[in-house]
Amino acid sequence: MPLDSAFQLQALCLKLDISTFRVFELAADACCFLKSKAACDFNEYLLTGSLPRYVTLYVTKNITDDDIILWQALIGQGMLGYA
């Protein structure tokens, strides 16, 4: 079963120890987009919760099953404030 893209995004942030905004910047850079596009798309994400396709693809390419397992374990143990 595919995981929610936002869930994968948060797992990647944990893995890389960076902010969600930084992931948007990295994804934009990987696609040769301007940082202003990343900023605009990030603001739209905050308003709608919808991830742009280029961010979703970047996250999918840079996350592993082990990263997801770690993220789920940390949530289950209440170590991230989600339990």
Q: What is the pLDDT of residues 22-69, one digit of tens each?
A: 999 999 999 999 999 999 999 999 999 999 999 999 999 999 888 888
Q: Residue 23 in contact with residue 12, Cβ under 8 Å?
A: yes
The predicted pLDDT at position 68 comes to 82
pLDDT tens per residue across span 9-19: 988 998 899 99
Characterize 36-49 residue by residue with b for buried, 16 or more Cβ atoms within 10 angstroms of its Cβ, and e for exposed: ebbeebbeebeeee
Cα separation, 55 vs 32, in Å, equals 12
The predicted pLDDT at position 70 comes to 81
In sequence order, what are the residues at sequence separation of 6 or more whose Cβ sits closer than 8 angstroms to the Cβ of residue 26?
18, 58
| pLDDT score of 78 more than 50 | yes
Amino acid at 41: D
In sequence order, what are the residues at sequence separation of 6 or more whose Cβ sits closer than 8 angstroms to the Cβ of residue 3?
68
Locate the domains of the chain by residue range.
5-76
